[in-house]
Chain A
Amino acid sequence: MQQPQWWWCAVKKWGYLVSRLLWAGVATWVILTITFVLMEFTPNAQYAQLQFSAAQSGGDPEQALETAKRLRGDTGTLWAQYTEFLSNIVSGNWGWSTYRSQPVTEALATAIPWSMMYGVPSLIISTVLGMTIGLYSALNQYSREDYAATLFAFMGISIPNFWFAIILLVFFGTVLNWVPILFDTGVAQNAAGNLTLGGVFSLANLRQLILPVVVLTTGSIASLMRYSRAEALEYVEADFVKTARAKGVSDRMIVLKHILRPASIPLATLLVGDLLGIIFVGSYLVEVVFGIPGLGTLSYNAIINQDTALVFGTIFVPTFIAIVGNLAQDLSYAYLDPRISFGDDE
């Protein structure tokens, strides 16, 4: 008999989970190391500035550099710097942002809520709508609705986010005057400049978030639609769906039991990993166009101002989210797909 023993199932399952966790750790380490190497090769704007002024005032640029490095603790062997860098990152000491004059982590902490304000709704809307439309399309392939959805999806994919954002701003902000053109952070904050729950969910704040959400959603919903359509189609045409039909299963149960359940496995993959990617990439331009002080704007400004520590900080956040997202994906896979997880019974 081929039924594996229960303990073997457990070993397999836990082995899989542990290997996934280890991979997440290794991926993180690789990314940190690459970052470190890049930083080593990046000319430090501050040091360059120091050397420049030292030279201007007749001093020795090299010596000025040495002094500055010693002051910043930026000496010692490469290995020592590397280990210190790693331990700093792990302990949450992500360096000092010169442009913001505050620790990088603090700058990130102020920016992230702004990104979430439009990112999370957009994530939810595009997931729910995208998958629903995609599945509907698949089940009604070649129908008028299917063609309409396809057309919409291709528009969503091909229209550049920033252009769409500007057009929407011009139309709804300037022509119709329905939404503010300038993003006002004040409406979500109290007098001390801290975000408040009431402020975040205030009408004024929600109003200025509508367009960013729309823009980001049209960008990400399209690929979700196409993907879930393709995925579901694969199952709509699967032999086992025909078996179910021949068995006399009702159409509704075929969709729910025989198509959605197996299709949910690859869709879980798309959801966490790729979607987060789409949203973070999209957020750059959306934030810059709308003037939202989120992660995208922060990263953009950090680059413009050559604020190396902050640039890496703003890159770390989405990177780590992607790693955690991938991990979550693998785990959900193990849960959903019997071909990976063993030991479930009937």
Chain B
Amino acid sequence: MSTQTTPDATDAASRNDDVLLSVEDLVVQFDTDGGTVHAVDGVSFDVREGETLCIVGESGSGKTISCEAITRLFRSPPGFIRGGSVEFDGTDLTSCSDDRLKEYRGNRIAHVFQNPQGALNPVYTIGNQVREAVELHTDLEGSAIRDRVVDLLGEVGIPEPVTHLGDYPHELSGGMKQRVVIAMALAGEPDLLIADEPTTALDVTIQKQILDLLNDVQERHDMSVIFVTHDLGVVAQIADRVLVMYAGKVMERDDVFDLFESPEHPYTAALLDCLPGSGGLEGIPGDLPDPFNPPAGCRFAERCPAVTEECIEGDQPPEYPVGSDDHTVSCVHHAPDGDPGELDGVTGAIGGDES
């Protein structure tokens, strides 16, 4: 279904040299007692060198699983990659053995997770845990390892790192813990940093600090970043490009400025409408579709004010290019034979009365 939809093949080819990661038609499913969860259902995206791609969506949109699929971090079983490819620097990671993947995990592709409270092992000191990462990804030995650990902790803004080597995670604040996690992520000098809601669990002031820190280290280490979030406010601050996901599908993708200026997908528009201090996405009425039994047609149909007969048939509408090369929208109204005018009132004013 999506073969005809990928943005112009020629353009993709011309940009190929600076594409670091290319996820193609990714399908991830979880086999549970209740049935098969269609967590990620044919998602494609690229990450170019040095850029920040934000993946935005509600919980259950598949954004986290898409990211964890890159280095297969979720438990398997129950989770399986049932289709697609994940090409990183010329290698298809989906066909790599777990052993091969270990060469990428933490080394070339690092992760920072949402909940710093749980991200560190409670029974080991932070010095020990950063050291583990250093030992795994460098050839340093003896006191050089320790020096490196101290350097890393210093780089992420832990004051007097030497005195904190022996601290246990419970002795640190949430923000400090997240800094430690970032220090571990930097240990392998990764090319790609995947930050999965790294600031969601933190206080607003701390959020800002951690965002600044991430921006900082990205620049200093010249990394690409995938930033997963449900907070469009954060997106505006850090993203180069944005991927909007809903119920395991990509709804819209665009350059961050264009997306904020002129969202073309009803869902993106709804997200933006809920933005000013309204506590995220609760403003959009309705629920995510059943992940066990995704409905036919557009996943957003049930909550979409511009829904038509056409929307609830067949598959998710293809990602139609709109305007610039980078901009695609998965909505029937943007089909070559569709009428974007149908969305006129919607992408401007949807949810206005809720927010």
Contacts and interface: CB of A to CB of B under 8 A. Distances in A.
B118 A246 contact: no
A336 B124 CA distance: 11
A244 B118 CA distance: 12
A319 to B, nearest CB: 32
Interface stretch (A11-19, A98-106, A257-265): A257-265
Given A346-B128, A346-B166, A245 B73 contact: yes
B105 interface: yes
Given A2-B171, A243-B184, A338-B122, A142 B77 contact: yes
A338 B168 contact: yes
Given A237-B75, A242-B119, 12 more contacts: A1-B163, A3-B166, A240-B122, A242-B111, A246-B111, A247-B184, A250-B102, A257-B124, A262-B123, A338-B122, A338-B168, A346-B128
Contacts of A1: 159-160, 163-164
B136 A3 contact: no
Contacts of A142: 77-78
Contacts of A337: 122-123
Contacts of B206: none
A240 B77 contact: no
Contacts of A336: 123
Contacts of B250: none
Interface of B: 71, 73, 75, 77-78, 98, 102-107, 110-111, 113, 115, 117-125, 127-128, 132-133, 136-137, 159-160, 163-168, 170-172, 181, 184-185, 187-188
Contacts of B118: 238-240
A291 B276 CA distance: 78
Contacts of A339: 122, 168, 170
A223 B106 CA distance: 38
A236 interface: yes
A110 B137 CA distance: 62
A337 B168 CA distance: 10
A258 B105 contact: no
A239 B174 CA distance: 14
A248 interface: yes
B77 A251 contact: no
Contacts of A3: 163-164, 166-167, 171
B133 to A, nearest CB: 5
Contacts of A258: 121
Contacts of B111: 242-243, 246
B133 A247 contact: yes
A266 to B, nearest CB: 12
A3 B127 CA distance: 13
6 contacts: A3-B164, A242-B73, A245-B73, A250-B102, A262-B121, A338-B168
Contacts of A242: 73, 111, 113, 119
Contacts of B98: 251
A244, A258, A262: residue with the most chain B Cβ atoms closer than 10 Å:
A244
Given A240-B118, A247-B184, A2 B172 contact: yes
A249 B115 contact: no
Given A2-B167, A247-B136, A262 B105 contact: no
Contact of B119 (A2, A243, A251, A257): A243
Contacts of A2: 167, 171-172
Contacts of A261: 121, 123-124
A262 B122 contact: yes
Nearest to A341: B168
B120 A248 contact: no
Given A1-B164, A2-B167, A249-B136, A244 B121 contact: yes
A308 to B, nearest CB: 48
A243 B136 CA distance: 14
A305 interface: no
A345 B164 CA distance: 10
Contacts of A243: 111, 113, 119-121, 181, 184
Interface centre among B71, B105, B172 (most CB of A within 10 A): B105
The residue in A240, A245, A246, A337 that gathers the most chain B C-beta atoms within 10 A of its C-beta is A246
B295 to A, nearest CB: 28
Given A1-B160, A346-B166, A248 B119 contact: no
Contacts of B77: 141-142
Interface in A219-256: 236-240, 242-251
Contacts of A239: 113, 115, 117-119
B133 A240 contact: no
B75 A246 contact: no
Nearest to B173: A2
Given A239-B115, A242-B113, A265 B123 contact: yes
B312 to A, nearest CB: 35
Nearest to B172: A2
A219 B117 CA distance: 38
A229 to B, nearest CB: 15
A247 B106 contact: yes
